[in-house]
């Protein structure tokens, strides 16, 4: 794949121009962006691959749900249905996507919906009774047909967008200049002990605008692994081998974490949002103790017996200034946007 990407380097200027032209047409009003008189918060990234959007959406739900009637709107990646759908706890990942189903199962009182057309999804959400007062757009940074009131741009510590180039040789969906649309930029998946000096170096590389704010987060791993009816402390499995199954963009942080704890495990890796085949499921059923990610658990739990399958909860943990981040979001949802 690396060789193929290098071969495709001559296409990079063409991809750059096409995405630049598209953004410019929205910026100058040739293409229309819908604006709204109620709070819409978009969470996304410039790069393909995992930057921690789902944990950030969950962080925002915890922060805002008691303040306003909340809804999340996702594309529903790799679902086998079309159009607008409100997600229920009885839905399947194939019908609505794994991450939206994860949100709904965890936050049952929050409206969770999917629609590839965000404008149509927003209109349908606002027609509900009662209608949501705040909408969180998941992975919608490049969805320029909607102009959110507040943009949160995520970039992973180990793959900063300022060190990358556009597809197909690099991983950026659009040029680095797209970061200018963000209100807040969050460097995710940082080491917990990230020094002030390194934070300042990253801030210098990112070259934020004066009105943008920068935050750093790490992954907080739960002390227990969980299934539908039980919890099991990680400490209790230190002398027990297990199979780690991942179907996410970058499993290395989780692998490193378990390795640092001295756990004994075999890793089986699949592509992000992988649709498990019958043969793969049959093979997984032969393992006696499986730990997976929460997103993968949503897809696997209906196929593998409860006593064999567990997931590792994670949350966003701010290295500093969580109260400042929270304050900016709470201030935004209180504004009169009419």
pLDDT in 10s for each residue of the chain, 338 residues: 578 888 889 999 999 999 999 999 999 999 999 999 999 999 999 999 889 999 999 999 999 999 999 999 999 999 999 999 999 999 999 999 999 999 999 999 999 999 999 999 999 999 999 999 999 999 999 999 999 999 999 999 999 999 999 999 999 999 999 999 999 999 999 999 999 999 999 999 999 999 999 999 999 999 999 998 899 999 999 989 999 999 998 999 999 999 999 999 999 999 998 999 999 999 999 999 999 999 999 999 999 999 999 999 999 999 999 999 999 999 999 986 75
Distance (Å) of CA 324 to CA 49, 165, 201, 214: 27, 31, 21, 10
- Which residues contact residue 337 at a Cβ distance below 8 angstroms, ignoring those fewer than 6 apart? 36, 37, 38, 39, 149
Residue with tokens 């609505």: 96
Distance (Å) of CA 96 to CA 54, 84, 93, 103, 104: 15, 10, 5, 11, 11
Cα separation, 167 vs 5, whole angstroms: 9
Taken in order 281, 282, 285, 286, is the CA torsion positive or negative? negative
- 230: number of Cβ within 10 Å: 11
In this structure, are residues 148 and 178 in contact, taking their beta carbons and an 8 Å threshold? no
Task: Give strand pairing partners of 111.
Answer: 71
- 178: number of Cβ within 10 Å: 23
Two tokens at 272? 């992000």
Whole-prediction pTM: 0.95
Distance (Å) of CA 260 to CA 238, 254, 264: 11, 10, 11
Q: What is the pLDDT, as a whole number, of residue 1?
A: 55
Task: Give strand pairing partners of 188.
Answer: 156
Cα separation, 239 vs 258, whole angstroms: 13
Listed in order, strand segments (DSSP E) in the chain are: 40-45, 70-74, 85-86, 111-114, 134-138, 150-156, 184-188, 213-221, 224-226, 231-233, 242-246, 265-269, 290-293, 309-312, 314-318
Two tokens at 155? 């970039």
Residue with tokens 């709107």: 73
- 231: number of Cβ within 10 Å: 12
In this structure, are residues 107 and 57 in contact, taking their beta carbons and an 8 Å threshold? no
Taken in order 157, 324, 37, 100, is the CA torsion positive or negative? positive
Cα separation, 271 vs 141, whole angstroms: 23
């Amino acid at each position: 794949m690396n060789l193929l990407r290098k071969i495709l380097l001559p296409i990079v200027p063409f991809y750059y121009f096409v995405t630049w032209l598209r953004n410019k047409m929205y910026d100058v009003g040739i293409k229309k962006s819908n604006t709204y008189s109620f709070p819409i918060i978009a969470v996304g990234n410039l790069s393909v691959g995992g930057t921690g959007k789902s944990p950030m959406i969950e962080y925002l739900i915890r922060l805002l749900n008691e303040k306003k009637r909340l809804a999340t709107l996702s594309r529903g990646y790799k679902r086998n249905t079309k159009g607008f759908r409100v997600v229920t706890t009885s839905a399947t990942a194939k019908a609505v996507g794994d991450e939206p189903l994860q949100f709904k199962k965890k936050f049952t009182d929050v409206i969770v919906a999917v629609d590839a057309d965000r404008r149509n999804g927003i209109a349908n959400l606002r027609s509900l009774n009662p209608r949501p007062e705040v909408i969180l757009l998941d992975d919608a940074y490049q969805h320029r047909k909607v102009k959110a009131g507040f943009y949160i741009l995520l970039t992973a510590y180990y793959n900063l967008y300022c060190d990358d180039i556009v597809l197909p040789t690099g991983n950026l969906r659009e040029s680095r200049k797209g970061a200018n649309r963000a209100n807040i930029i969050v460097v995710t998946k940082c080491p917990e002990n990230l020094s002030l000096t390194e934070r300042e170096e990253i801030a210098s590389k990112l070259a934020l605008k004066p009105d943008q704010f920068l935050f750093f987060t790490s992954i907080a791993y739960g002390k227990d692994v969980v299934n539908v009816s039980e919890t099991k402390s990680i400490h209790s499995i230190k002398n027990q081998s297990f199979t780690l199954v991942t179907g996410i963009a970058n499993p290395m942080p989780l692998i490193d974490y378990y390795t640092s704890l001295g756990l004994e495990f075999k890793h089986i890796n699949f592509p992000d949002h992988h649709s498990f085949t019958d043969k793969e499921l049959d093979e997984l059923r032969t393992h006696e103790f499986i730990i997976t990610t929460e997103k993968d658990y949503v897809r696997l739990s209906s196929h593998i017996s409860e006593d064999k399958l567990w997931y590792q909860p994670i949350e966003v943990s701010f290295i500093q200034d969580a109260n400042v981040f929270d304050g900016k979001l709470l201030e935004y949802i209180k504004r009169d946007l009419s």
